[in-house]
Amino acid sequence: MRKIFSFKAEGRHPDRVLDAVKHEIRKYLKRERRRVLPEGTDFWDFDCRFGLEKDSAEVVLLSTLIAQVDAAAKGGAEHAYVEILARAAQRPPRPPRVEGEGAEPRATDDDHPDEDALP
């Protein structure tokens, strides 16, 4: 999605326009996440850019995108450019867990006294 969102609409309260913009962004993300993943990938990752103009848009994290839109609208901006590109990604494998390297050993049933044995 590459779109310039306007924060001003005649006859509509600015807060409702802002809510509609944030709803459209979230709706796009949900729709993209429902797509079938290519083989060998685990999840959809999103590359996001945000700016008041298309030429001045900067890379932002997806987790901060809605906050950026909110801040721009509250700051008096009339419009903002949002770019969200979905790409399939694969999580790197977790390193093997080694006991004794800062990790506490897991509790077992033998570590706890039997509740039936209490007087």
Is the confidence at residue 65, as pLDDT, over 60? yes
- The whole-number pLDDT of residue 10 equals 94
Write down the pLDDT at residue 98.
82
Report pLDDT digits (tens) over 67-112: 999 999 999 999 999 999 999 999 998 899 887 666 565 666 565 5
Q: Which two tokens stand for residue 102?
A: 């800062």
- Using alpha carbons only, what angle is made at residue 34 by residues 33 and 38, rounded to the nearest 5 degrees? 80
Percent of the chain scoring above 70 in pLDDT = 83
Tell me the Ramachandran region of residue 100: left when phi exceeds 0, alpha when psi lies from -120 to 50, beta otherwise. left
| Closest to 60 measured CA to CA, from 25, 19, 24, 94 | 25
